[in-house]
Amino acid sequence: MLLIMWWNFVGRTDDEIRKAREDWMASDRFGEVKGYDGDRLPAPEVPATQLKARGRVR
């Protein structure tokens, strides 16, 4: 199975990455970082093109 990695998110599909960003921005599903004194970092916008998994380079 190939995975897609984008910013701090890992998923199997473009939709999973977009949902993870949505959840991050809504402070949903992801926990807090204890001991971090700053504001929550906003995730950058997902590119307009569809994210795709890359195969192994041999």
Please provide the size of the chain in residues.
Answer: 58
Mean pLDDT across the stretch 4-31?
94
The set of long-range contacts for 21-29, using a CB threshold of 8 Å and a minimum separation of 24, is 21/46
Mean pLDDT for all residues in the chain: 90
Residue 58 pLDDT level (bands cut at 50, 70, 90)? low
3-state secondary structure of 16: helix
pTM: 0.82
Is 43 exposed, middle or buried (CB count within 10 Å of its CB: 0-12, 13-18, 19+)? middle
The percent of residues in the chain predicted with pLDDT above 70, rounded, is 95
